[in-house]
Amino acid sequence: MTMNGTRGYYSGLVDLATGLISREIFVNGDIYAQEQERVFARSWLFVGHESQIPNPGDFFASRMGEESVILCRDRVGSVHVFLNSCRHRGMKVCRYDDGNTTVFTCPYHGWSYGTDGALVGVPFFREAYHSELDKSKYSLVEVAQLCCYKGTVWANWDASAPPFLEYLGEFRRFLDLILDGWDGREGQVELLGGVQKWIIPCNWKWPAENFSGDTYHNISHRSVDLVGAGPSGRSRRDYNELAATRKLHVTIPDRGHQTITYVLPKDHPPQAVYQNSPEVAEYFRHCEEERRRRPGANSRLIGAPGEVFPNLALLPRQPRTLAVWHPKSAHETEVWRFFFVDRDAPQQVKNFLRDYYIRYSGPAGMTEQDDMENWNYAHAASRGVIARRHPYTYEMGMGHAVENYEWDGLRVPGRVVDLTKAMASEEPMRNLYRRWAQFMEADSWDELMTWRRDALREAEAAE
Amino acid sequence: MSDPINIRDLAVGSRIVLGSGAEVEIVSNPKDGVWLFARYLASADDPAIVGQEEMIFAQDVVEVRS
């Protein structure tokens, strides 16, 4: 009999040679505490969208891992992300979800900060501090790195991490599928409505794994397919246009990002979609024609669920949404779901999509409810001392991924599993947990940026 | 001790008196109930400060003049 360890992470819990992964990485509180430092404090994390803070003074209270942060636009229009914690005694200086302000004032002792993070107000500065406090030392703590990419805002606490686009690597084109306009123009989306937030009783890695590209669980959504919750009244999505495609799992091994994607054949005409509304159907038909006319390989890719390491899920198409799996404890996750729409789409299209999106996703979404049933009960059933002795298997399709995948003249980056016949694989999950284990074991970003070492070796070999 | 003044209700242009006796005019109110932005109109303790703008702490406000 193997006794459960009470210690934290150790090498071997993620065994990709056998495809076995210990349940401890999902339920162990010590491992959870370690991953806050080793994963979340070093990774690029999604914070929000610039359309949430269009004007000077606008702010949106967000999260990075367990930490509360403030995304705001200062008086001169620059975007900042600050730790939402007063430098005096740590109280939250912003307790609203969003709004507009000139200052963030701590309600505890009254310290006050400008929207650029500078400490501007200290009660009894002359009297009690005798004007001796160096205010410049006590600005709000700002993230080490910030990147605004096609409207999305990303931040990183680690100054030694690579720039965001290098972190993203070749996964960028898959993220573009959600951020570019449906007609192919760059960065044309805006947030639709508010952010849906709710708490689920499971570890954050359950939804992260699911959205990495778990096609094996489609049986869970059978009832939604039977109801016909999709935008054409059949199934839960429009599948007609997928009949001619190749369905792929794409993983970017040295980055830890992965997705499902569909590749259209060359010169494939737009198919009928969104048939529940003639106006919406016409909008997407027009956009699809425009997209095909624009140069670039993305016109032949159809987006599907994917994951930017560690905790950002993308669903570029139906529905079009980003979700963040904020860790709360080993056993709790706070989900934030952002819905997107083409900024200049007709209001009728936005209304239709809003109804479809919330019918599909979010706490009241039919498909997301299916998923939550699985994650929450699987997590609960994995916490016991007996359950924890038995690892999960991730053996499906091991050794069947290929590099330099090409179909009908389109090369796809990363390691690829063709699901058109295989139906499912667990390559994306292995990719996620390989990267997670690397973060848990590496002491610095130098160890994590394997691609830089490879490039250096290649350059030296070429000399 | 006088009753506390709810500075959230004070409009831009209002004149107030501080604990030091200085008189200031409100130039901006973030309405957080803690701070005001104001310009000094008179200050017996420190005449050099007249004309300057400063953040005024709520507990410093002792009287509303207009």
Q: What is the band of A454 on the pLDDT scale with cuts at 50, 70, 90?
A: confident
Cβ contacts of A110 on chain B, cutoff 8 Å: 34-35, 57-58
Cross-chain residue pair B57–A124, CB shorter than 8 Å: yes
pLDDT for res A1: 46
**How far from each other are the two terminal CA atoms of chain B, in whole angstroms?**
21
- Please report, as a single letter, which amino acid is at residue A405: Y
Taking the CA of residue B28 and the nearest CA in chain A, the distance in Å comes to 9
Cα–Cα distance, B38 to B12 (Å, whole number): 9
Range name among A59-63, A141-145, A192-196, A234-238 with the lowest pLDDT average: A234-238
Nearest-Å Rg of the Cα atoms of chain B is 11
Cα–Cα distance, A419 to A251 (Å, whole number): 13
Cα–Cα distance, B5 to B29 (Å, whole number): 14
Q: Chain B residues within 8 A (CB-CB) of chain A?
A: 28, 30, 32, 34-35, 37, 55, 57-59
pLDDT digits (tens, 9 = 90+) for A361-419: 999 999 999 999 999 999 999 999 999 999 999 999 999 999 999 999 999 999 999 99
Cross-chain residue pair A112–B35, CB shorter than 8 Å: yes
Cross-chain residue pair B34–A124, CB shorter than 8 Å: no
Cross-chain residue pair B35–A103, CB shorter than 8 Å: yes
Strands A20-21 and A392-393: antiparallel
pLDDT digits (tens, 9 = 90+) for B8-45: 999 999 999 999 999 999 999 999 999 999 999 999 99
Q: A443: Cβ–Cβ under 8 A, 6 or more apart, which residues? A: none
Q: What is the band of A456 on the pLDDT scale with cuts at 50, 70, 90?
A: confident
Cross-chain residue pair B57–A121, CB shorter than 8 Å: yes
Output phi, psi for A133, to 5 deg.
-70, 130
**If you average pLDDT over every residue of chain A, what do you get?**
95
Q: What is the band of A243 on the pLDDT scale with cuts at 50, 70, 90?
A: confident
CA nearest neighbour of A298 among A150, A173, A409, A406: A173
User: What number of other Cβ atoms are within 10 A of residue A127's Cβ?
Assistant: 11
The alpha carbon of A23 is separated from its chain's Cα centroid by a whole number of angstroms, namely: 23
CA nearest neighbour of A27 among A371, A382, A377: A382
pLDDT digits (tens, 9 = 90+) for B42-62: 999 999 999 999 999 999 999
Cβ contacts of B59 on chain A, cutoff 8 Å: 123
For chain A, what percent of residues have pLDDT higher than 70? Answer: 98
Best of B12, B46, B57, B61 to substitute, by most chain A Cβ atoms within 10 angstroms, is: B57
Between A325 and A234, name the one with better pLDDT: A325
Range name among A184-188, A425-429, A433-437 with the lowest pLDDT average: A184-188
pLDDT for res B2: 61
Cross-chain residue pair A120–B28, CB shorter than 8 Å: no
What pTM did the predictor assign?
Answer: 0.94
Cross-chain residue pair A107–B30, CB shorter than 8 Å: no
pLDDT for res A457: 87
> With 70 as the cut, is the pLDDT of residue A3 above it?
no
> With 80 as the cut, is the pLDDT of residue A227 above it?
yes
> Is the CB of A112 inside 8 Å of chain B's CB atoms?
yes
Cross-chain residue pair B30–A103, CB shorter than 8 Å: yes
Q: What is the mean pLDDT of residues A65-93?
A: 98
Taking the CA of residue B65 and the nearest CA in chain A, the distance in Å comes to 23
CA nearest neighbour of A190 among A49, A77, A305: A49
Structural tokens at position A332 = 């709790």
Best of A75, A88, A101, A102 to substitute, by most chain B Cβ atoms within 10 angstroms, is: A102
Q: What is the mean pLDDT of residues A48-76?
A: 98
- Give A114-160 as a DSSP string: ETTS-EEE-TTTTTTSTT---GGGGPPPB-SEEEEETTEEEEES-TT
Q: What is the mean pLDDT of residues A118-142?
A: 97
pLDDT for res A65: 97
Cross-chain residue pair A105–B55, CB shorter than 8 Å: no
Q: B38: Cβ–Cβ under 8 A, 6 or more apart, which residues? A: B16, B24, B25, B26, B27, B53, B54, B55, B56
pLDDT digits (tens, 9 = 90+) for A172-221: 999 999 999 999 999 899 999 999 999 999 999 999 999 999 999 989 99
Tally C-beta pairs within 8 A across A and B: 29
> With 60 as the cut, is the pLDDT of residue A271 above it?
yes
Cβ contacts of A121 on chain B, cutoff 8 Å: 34-35, 55, 57
pLDDT for res B4: 85
Cα–Cα distance, A54 to A51 (Å, whole number): 5
**DSSP H or E stretch at residue A173:** helix A172-179
Whats the size of chain B, residue-wise? 66
Q: What is the band of A296 on the pLDDT scale with cuts at 50, 70, 90?
A: confident
Range name among A5-14, A21-30, A201-210, A312-321 with the lowest pLDDT average: A5-14
In this complex, the residue of B28, B32, B55 whose CB is nearest that of residue A120 is B55
- Please report, as a single letter, which amino acid is at residue A458: E
Q: Are A249 and A417 in contact (CB under 8 A)?
A: yes
Cα–Cα distance, A406 to A413 (Å, whole number): 9
Q: Are A335 and A199 in contact (CB under 8 A)?
A: yes
